[in-house]
Structure 1
Amino acid sequence: MTRIVLVHGIAQEFKGPETLLADWYPALSDGLALAGSRVARHEVSMAFYGDVFRPSGHRGVGVPEWDASDIHDGLEHELLLQWWESAANAEAGVASPNARARVRSPRLVKQALNALSQSSFFAGLSERLMISSTRQVRRYFTEPEIRKAVQSRVTRQVSEDTQVVVAHSLGSVVAYEALCAGPDLPNMTLVTLGSPLAVRNLVFERLLPRPREGYGRWPAPVKSWTNIADRGDIVALVRELAPLFGERIRDISIHNGAKAHDVGPYLTAQETGQAIATALRGGGADG
């Protein structure tokens, strides 16, 4: 019986559903405990899609040996610059790109990668992993078969018992599109964490179904939607979804500490626990 479906974000291709649940379930339980609720492990499932992006037939181990010259023009390049600008605005230790030319070049990309390596979110990640992250976003939006395969992982986990979908980062885009494409799915609550859904040009205009007159569609199965974001989250970029998706969304701002985009602090927050607990009790966003 799956009451909660979890949807992860980028850079999980070398893990698996049980590996991720080993980290997510304790954090989820801590947040629910603060809200006076609990859920059993067998009532939670992970909609895992990381393997869709796992390299195949590569002689090396892990991520291919990409460097700055492998960043594609368009979405990958612009996304990298957006992350850089956001990180510089959020953290004093990250050099600002504002005075630099925005013409695409390996040197500029290298500067962006170096600057992001100083940010709290990307600290410890290699250039290859940062490039891999931008590539996953680009492939999701530009390769229809990838998009379809990833979304199917969400709908496969949803059952008549599902009361809430909790989606982090790119997973919020996946969950949103999957629920929009499934009008016959059971009614449920959607909780998005660190979501980039409202990022103009890079994400919002690329959504399916396409936004109409500047507004995103409301997923038919969703009876209640709570969006939670840390103001220092450099991936979310735009922290409030209600202006683009409707006033029915409840936008909540929280503080996650140094790791603003990490899913752990999002799940352990009382605000997240309360949103999920309310859904499990059968209520809407306002309980």
Structure 2
Amino acid sequence: MARVVCVHGIGQQVQGEALLLSAWWPALGDGLRRVDAGGTLDASEVAMAFYGDLFRPSGRMLSVDDLPYTAEDVDDPFEQELLGAWWRAAAQSDPGVVPPDAQDTLLATPGSVQAALRALSGSRFFADIALRHMVADLKQVRAYLTDPAVRGAVRRRVIGAIGPDTRVVVAHSLGSVVAYEALCALPGHGVRALVTIGSPLGIRNLVFDRLDPAPTGPRTRARGSWPGGKALTWTNLAGHGDVVALVKDLRPGFGDELRTGLLETGAHAHDATAYLTDALCGRAVAEALA
């Protein structure tokens, strides 16, 4: 089994494990070089836990009534709330994004949803993402967190990739939620380091409060489970302009032993490789492999 298991994030349904690894493996190597880690990470030591195909509809011929996603498809309260959170975060980090006003806070009407999608399409973060893909990403997050069948199928993919030789799990975006839950479901695992990048794990109500296992304690001070034994090191990295990593510091929800880093990830703030090439990521991986 691989020493390093990677877990991708949202929007990868038309990719594949080999294609994603062709970008992740060199980026991991570059991160290790930033900290002068001895030796190199061989491609055979890295695996991608791929689940994107579970969100890919079966191929079929289109009829005249088939249309891509539009603003009207964002009709679920969870999706509307998450879209609103992305809009507010983008407006705070990108001066080019018009902030929502009070009437758009809850995105309760198709018009306010359209306004949110239009504002995000003009942001640095979502500039290259088509509207239908933005809506599809919202639906992926909702499906994982609210549909037990989807959650189970995705999590089994990650659990199946983690073996007795796995020492590091690097997980991006929604994949960080999956990896966290997978490790919690594997008592006695040998993983030494969990590295989460661009993670939404700290978003209360939408993500944190829906975790499995559920956080314990009073709601305002609830604490999530630690995803391993005392030997596990957890490093969370968040880009300053990463809208998905809305809550940058996960320590209030998971404990002060969690190591937190803030970094610059450039124009494509949520891109996984922008995290993997940073020295903070390289150091977290290198320490566990030493």
- TM-score range (shorter-chain normalised) is over 0.9
1:33-182 map, 5 Å:
33-37=33-37, 38-56=40-58, 58-60=60-62, 65-101=68-104, 102-182=106-186
Does 2:242 match 1:233?
yes
CA distance in 2, matches of 1:57, 1:261: 28
CA distance in 2, matches of 1:142, 1:46: 24
Q: Secondary structure at the match of 2:261?
A: strand
Once the two structures are superposed, residues 74-122 of structure 1 have per-residue CA deviations (whole angstroms, 9 ceiling, x without a partner) of 1111011110110011000111003433351111111111111111221
Task: Give yes or no for contact 1:4–1:44 (8 Å, CA) kept in 2.
Answer: yes
| Structure-2 change in CA distance of 1:35 and 1:67 (3 Å) | same
For 1:276, give the aligned amino acid.
Answer: V
| Structure-2 change in CA distance of 1:143 and 1:100 (3 Å) | same
Which residue number corresponds to residue 192 of structure 2? 188
Could you list the runs of 5+ residues in structure 2 that have no partner in the other structure? none
| 107-116 vs 120-129, which moves further | 120-129
Task: Give yes or no for contact 2:125–2:270 (8 Å, CA) kept in 1.
Answer: yes
Which residue number corresponds to residue 268 of structure 1? 277
Does 2:17 match 1:17?
yes
Equivalent of residue 223 in structure 1, options 209, 213, 232: 232
Task: Give yes or no for contact 1:198–1:204 (8 Å, CA) kept in 2.
Answer: yes
Deviation at 1:48, TM superposition (A): 0.4
CA distance in 1, matches of 2:157, 2:167: 17
CA distance in 2, matches of 1:151, 1:40: 26
Identity of matched residues, %:
49
Q: Secondary structure at the match of 1:131?
A: helix
| Structure-2 change in CA distance of 1:153 and 1:255 (3 Å) | same
Could you list the runs of 5+ residues in structure 1 that have no partner in the other structure? 282-287
Q: Once superposed, what is the RMSD of the aligned Cα atoms?
A: 1.6
Task: Give yes or no for contact 2:240–2:265 (8 Å, CA) kept in 1.
Answer: no
Deviation at 1:220, TM superposition (A): 2.6
Q: With the length of structure 1 as denominator, give the TM-score of the two structures.
A: 0.94
Task: Give yes or no for contact 1:85–1:98 (8 Å, CA) kept in 2.
Answer: no
CA distance in 2, matches of 1:268, 1:64: 38
For 2:223, give the aligned amino acid.
Answer: Y
CA distance in 1, matches of 2:166, 2:3: 4
CA distance in 2, matches of 1:244, 1:75: 21
Q: With the length of structure 2 as denominator, give the TM-score of the two structures.
A: 0.93
Once the two structures are superposed, residues 215-270 of structure 1 have per-residue CA deviations (whole angstroms, 9 ceiling, x without a partner) of 11111357110111112211110001111101110001111122221111100101
Once the two structures are superposed, residues 100-145 of structure 1 have per-residue CA deviations (whole angstroms, 9 ceiling, x without a partner) of 3335111111111111111122112111100000000000011111
Q: Secondary structure at the match of 1:32?
A: helix
CA distance in 2, matches of 1:185, 1:25: 23
Deviation at 1:64, TM superposition (A): 5.9
Task: Give yes or no for contact 1:58–1:64 (8 Å, CA) kept in 2.
Answer: no
Q: Secondary structure at the match of 2:193?
A: strand
Task: Give yes or no for contact 1:64–1:128 (8 Å, CA) kept in 2.
Answer: no
